[in-house]
A and B are shown apart, each in its own frame.
Chain A
């Protein structure tokens, strides 16, 4: 039995899904969609599969979420629907219900957040609601796991008896007449397209293009329907779109008048207003937001994250030492030992040591998201971000990018618009990640001793300015399309639930570990191999004879116009693709010295101008393999390659333009 969960954003749908399935869930396989759809097995009855559809407000064909939900419900036809509604904003929730009810699929309505409803003194007479809507209405409290068993039992009974919602009209007068006339005209077509006629009729009247295409109506029929609609529009002096929306809300208002009593004051909303008076304050709102981001940074990359990361990398090092000793004692071939230690442990280990940072960061971010603050961030930052063609929500991934590009790209999952998501993912690598800091530190120490801070700050600012420039250009030429309208609910502030937070963290960690042992595992071995053997497959004692160095020498001339056409610099850039810190450590190995003594030998490779050009290139060129893998996870292989080529090409042009101009200027 397959049950679909449908409801508004912020209605507690994910909480309900987590309660129903526990940790027994995974991201479903819905090819070609950028929206996450999760599926899981019902804890109490393993024969029931539950699909968590994205949060939507209507079944219109506009956003990717709406299209996905529609297609799923109409074409896959689950055995039952749980429609979850936030009891504190019942009217808006029921607006979706009235559309779901026409789909002719067994359905129950779960009214969620009943604890808040009671606390607010709102009375919802579910029996009266149920009488009007003719489906079971179950009050639940998903975060406290209350009412869930009743809910599932009610739905199971309906599905077992194939009890679909009875046909009903939510309207009178002109809309009613037009609906019936339209339904009658398109009945045969609807049957052929396998959609309920009454649902098809409403959608056709709304001017729904995909439905029009599905039904393949004849010219005659279109004309008859058009005639009926025009008559309705004239009678109501409302156009078709408004007439249908008005009809639904009119019906809902009438039902709510009978079934719901609301006290004058709304405690939860009053509390939200008080919090917002501070958090979205005219003057302090933005500084508070920046302060919160700084705090998160400090906690993640400073205190907790780095402590845990150091602990974990210490543990990985000790494990590597033990394995190394074991292998040596066993008398294993030193090349195999090197593969395990220098290849697998070094590569996968360095990526695994990111995990604590990522967990801490996502823990803090999920608090922001679940409490309702993230929606406010979009609210206060929207005007600024709109200037470069993005919307307010994109600011969070971009700021995280200063810490690490990998979680930043993972965080774009919260962006609802596909266009914003792509653009944000392309721009985030311009925010100098913390792994580039050692490169800046070593180079400024060697070449810009007197202006260290200035050059370092310049790197960060250049990244930001170029991101803005690229955003402005791509807004004009690449990502033209209509941005999704910025019309967004600001949910009441709520305490995040422990279960949701931990399931989210578990999911992110699992995702990251899987990646570490697939793409990064392979990449580590490839780099190790190139670094260990020469072109005749002999083990090298000095890495300057390795294949990697050979490749470095081969591509070195490419960097001559940039001022650093030597094989050591290009080899360092190649290893930098594994992890940005590797740029410095590779240079140290190739110059046979320690990182702290790099200044003098570096001066033999670079002039101050070519050093700055090198810094520009490392700032901008392709992000590391872990970040690239994250791009692939979010946008697919095609965009991963586009991203690599774009970033590297852009870095090349910027560094070359700088170097050539600087040389001309002397």
Chain B
């Protein structure tokens, strides 16, 4: 599944970050690398963007960009 589909309060492990160029580089730089565990913290009042928790900090990104990230859901 992709990160945008992860329910609030659920966690997932990143498999791959797709896309290209600046956006992809930015996602990787912010620590969204394969194997890292992310937690879906909340959605913005209008449902988009979302806020995830990884590597000890909160990161916000848009659903459109989150759909570029392949994950597998895990139970913590």
Contacts and interface: CB of A to CB of B under 8 A. Distances in A.
A490 B59 contact: yes
Contacts of A380: 44-46
A657 interface: no
A91 B55 contact: yes
A485 B27 CA distance: 9
A257 interface: no
A383 B46 contact: yes
B6 interface: no
A216 interface: no
A507 interface: no
B10 interface: no
Contacts of B33: 242, 245-246, 249
B45 A487 contact: no
Interface string B32-76: 011010000111111111010101111111100100000000000
* Interchain residue pairs A-B with the least CB separation, the first 6: A245-B28, A58-B29, A490-B58, A89-B57, A383-B46, A485-B23
A241 interface: yes
A241 B49 contact: no
Contact of B17 (A89, A242, A492): A242
A487 B30 contact: yes
A273 B42 CA distance: 10
A494 interface: no
Contacts of A489: 30, 57-60
Nearest to B36: A249
B31 interface: yes
Contacts of A375: 60
Interface of B: 16-17, 22-31, 33-34, 36, 41-49, 51, 53, 55-62, 65
A289 to B, nearest CB: 9
7 contacts: A60-B25, A92-B56, A280-B42, A280-B45, A487-B61, A490-B51, A492-B57
B27 to A, nearest CB: 6
Nearest to A206: B25
A440 B6 CA distance: 51
A378 B44 CA distance: 10
A375 B44 CA distance: 12
A321 B31 CA distance: 64
A281 interface: yes
Nearest to A484: B22
A383 B28 contact: no
A383 B48 contact: yes
Interface string A217-249: 000000000000000000000100110011001
- Main SS of chain B's interface residues? mixed
Nearest to B50: A379
Contact of A273 (B26, B30, B41): B41
A486 B56 contact: no
A382 interface: yes
A276 B42 contact: yes
Nearest to A282: B45
A25 B38 CA distance: 40
Interface residues of A, number: 47
Contacts of B30: 57, 92, 487, 489
B43 to A, nearest CB: 8
B47 A383 contact: yes
Given A262-B56, A489-B57, A57 B29 contact: yes
A312 interface: no
B40 to A, nearest CB: 13
A266 B57 CA distance: 10
A60 B53 CA distance: 23
A91 B32 CA distance: 12
B29 A490 contact: no
A286 interface: yes
B55 A382 contact: no
Contacts of B61: 485-488
A490 B49 contact: no
A34 interface: no
A146 to B, nearest CB: 22
B34 A246 contact: yes
A322 to B, nearest CB: 55
Given A62-B26, A92-B31, A249-B36, A490 B60 contact: yes
A85 to B, nearest CB: 12
A379 B65 contact: no
Given A88-B56, A485-B65, A379 B51 contact: yes
Interface in A295-346: none
Nearest to A285: B45
A384 interface: yes
Nearest to B25: A60
Contacts of B58: 269, 272, 489-492
B49 to A, nearest CB: 5
Contacts of A485: 22-23, 26-27, 61, 65
A449 interface: no
Contacts of A91: 31, 55-56
Contacts of B59: 487-490
Nearest to B59: A489
Given A89-B55, A89-B57, A286 B22 contact: no
